[in-house]
Amino acid sequence: MGVGLLRLRWGRGWAGQGRVSRSYRAVSRRLACGDVEGRLEAIFGRVRAIQAKSGRFDMLLCVGNFFGSTSEAEWAEYRTGAKKAPIPTFVLGANNQDTLNYFPDVSGCELAENITYLGRRGVYSGCSGLQIAYLSGTEAQEQPAPAHSFSTKDVAELKMSLLSSPNFRGVDILLTSPWPRDVGTFANSAGEIDTKKCGSKLVSDLAASLKPRYHFAALEKAYYERLPYRNHMVLQETPQHVTRFIALADVGNTSKKKYLYAFSIVPMSSMDPAELVKQPQDVTENPYRKLRKEAPKSKAPLSAEEEPACQFFFDLNKHQGKKRPSEGKERGDSQPKQAKKPPQPTGPCWFCLASPEVEKHLVVSIGTHCYLALAKGGLSPDHVLILPIGHYQSVVDLSSEVLEEVTKYKAALKEFFRSKGKRYVLFERNYRSQHLQLQVIPVPLDLCTSEDIKEAFIAQAQEQQIELLEIPEHSDIAQVAQPGTPYFYVELDTGEKLFHRIRGRFPLQFGREVLASEALLAQPQRADWRQCAAQRPEEAAQARAFRHEFEPFDFSLRD
């Protein structure tokens, strides 16, 4: 059968037997697999068989090489929708140059229905509260790191994004493709694999810091379930949960080595603390004890995202408006007030203004806390985004001063578009995104009414079994959604709002699809931004034109 023994870890997945009544409702059933290498029919066929016998699982987590040298024929059927994965499947990125082309977006994206690329690095939090940290690629052997590799900086930034939280205790699951170096220290034998030479030291460092309850890896074409290890020093530190490391073999291997692992887990955040830290009888010392002792001696380098916000400002056009001061002294203040530092991204961010990834030729206005940019591959030439300068994931995470400036940009855009005989439609998708993007798309007044727009959204939502609810005109989104809640909402320039609480899968292009539909803009071919991307000179020209026309309405040039 090739899958080996499937153990549904009902007890150990809950960190021991004991009391489970408080956590029972939060339990989730997961599958993890090793290198698929393009054998999609083999892995999905096995998943179907397991679900038919043991009931439904919530997701499949794939580590190692998801694609192989002969993937294209099988993959085409899934990519085109002819076939569908039987379970939500989350995969890591390329481990070699040959498969890079299968991953179009470094920050993560939907590759096919039910198959999602998590991204280069980061943390995935589902609606259950389960935290899954992930790191794609193999350890770089050269600088700069190739696109299929991770560097010391990648690991440092992923660690920083989690360890900066004062209440951080660890993550539920860690996904990496390489094994951690020295994982076999103090443990049962890994067979033919020499754990002192195999794997990545950076992954060891990451595992030592993030303290995952489960850590899955692959690439070595071997199955190895290490004895659980402790994450504290006995009699010296407060007891903590244990980590279970599981390496999985390649799918369909002829040696019948185990490549698929079933387990049940309750999110750490939902568990009774005493149950969480129970130590199994076979627990061992931490294999990365030496790394943990050395950790305080090393300090992660300051990343671009950590620089103070006052350094982010730049003059878009020296002949237009006034230059924004970047120091308090230039404003006449003898002691400038320090702005509250926004949260830091879990990986490279395309929208933090300080980030080198930002395509600054699209920026059309910069305020104190927010900026305005043309959308890449916009639905129309005047499709813009309102974005916070610092890193905020959603509207409900915004501080009061940032929210105030978002409101000012909305008012300015409403006045601007009305002067051109248009009304705007604004939407936000707080799902599969790291940085808040308020999409603002103008619709000609003579094309449709506000009621037409609302009806189009509601009708298409019903077709896709999406519950889109109208909320009171003057209600704040923060009143219906807590921070961390996945959601989608639409706002008209009249103040009317429609809201959907995302509890499972959600179509990433839903907002664009509705606006591009025949009922509204009648441009269905422009529903996907990737089909609308222009060359950089054209984008820059559009940005200059918008900036010039928007100038009389741009409060940032007057403040």
Kindly report, residue by residue over 88-107, the tens digit of the pLDDT: 999 999 999 999 999 999 88
pLDDT band at 7 (very low <50, low <70, confident <90, very high): very low
Peptide bond into 144 cis (omega under 30): yes
Does the structure show a pLDDT above 50 at 299? no
10 Å CB burial of residue 232 (0-12, 13-18, 19+) is middle
Percentage of the residues of the chain whose pLDDT score is greater than 90: 65
pLDDT for the residue 306: 32
Per-residue pLDDT tens for 500-556?
Answer: 999 889 999 999 999 999 999 999 999 988 888 889 999 999 999 999 999 999 998
CB-CB contact of 391 with 160 (8 Å): no
What is the distance between the alpha carbons of residues 144 and 457, in angstroms, rounded to a whole number?
45
pLDDT band at 476 (very low <50, low <70, confident <90, very high): confident
pLDDT for the residue 21: 36
Does the structure show a pLDDT above 50 at 458? yes
**Spatial CA neighbour of 225 closest among 4, 1, 2:** 4
Backbone angles phi, psi at 125, to 5 degrees: -120, 115
Which of 447-466 are b and which e, b meaning 16 or more Cβ less than 10 Å from the residue's Cβ?
Answer: ebebeebbebbbebbeeeeb
Does the structure show a pLDDT above 50 at 307? no
CB atoms within 10 A of CB 430: 22
CB-CB contact of 321 with 266 (8 Å): no
Place of tokens 């929708």: 81
CATH 3.20.10.10 assigned to domain 29-277? The reply is no
- Which of these CATH numbers, 3.30.428.10, 3.40.50.300, 3.40.50.2300, 2.60.40.10, describes 360-557? 3.30.428.10
Which of 380-393 are b and which e, b meaning 16 or more Cβ less than 10 Å from the residue's Cβ?
Answer: bbbbbbbbbbbbbb
pLDDT for the residue 119: 95
Which pTM value belongs to this model? 0.54
Does the structure show a pLDDT above 80 at 4? no
**Spatial CA neighbour of 160 closest among 294, 286, 268, 304:** 304
AA identity, residue 299 = K
Averaged pLDDT for residues 261-284 = 92
Does the structure show a pLDDT above 60 at 18? no
CB-CB contact of 218 with 35 (8 Å): yes
Contact residues for 404 (Cβ-Cβ < 8 A; gap 6+): none
pLDDT for the residue 52: 96
What is the distance between the alpha carbons of residues 434 and 122, in angstroms, rounded to a whole number?
9
What is the distance between the alpha carbons of residues 93 and 409, in angstroms, rounded to a whole number?
37
Q: How far is CA 360 from CA 81, 231, 378, 523, 536, in A?
A: 36, 44, 16, 27, 11
Does the structure show a pLDDT above 90 at 355? no
Which of 16-44 are b and which e, b meaning 16 or more Cβ less than 10 Å from the residue's Cβ?
Answer: beeebeebeebbbbbbbbbbbbbbbebbb
Across the beta sheet with 469-471, what order do the strands follow? 363-366, 370-374, 384-388, 438-444, 422-430, 487-492, 497-501, 469-471
Does the structure show a pLDDT above 80 at 20? no
Collapsed DSSP state (helix, strand, coil) of residue 443: strand
Residue-range domain boundaries for the chain = 29-277, 360-557
Q: What angle do CA 381, 377, 368 make, to 5 degrees?
A: 75
Averaged pLDDT for residues 305-313 = 30
Percentage of the residues of the chain whose pLDDT score is greater than 70: 84
pLDDT band at 346 (very low <50, low <70, confident <90, very high): low
Averaged pLDDT for residues 137-164 = 94
What is the distance between the alpha carbons of residues 430 and 395, in angstroms, rounded to a whole number?
9
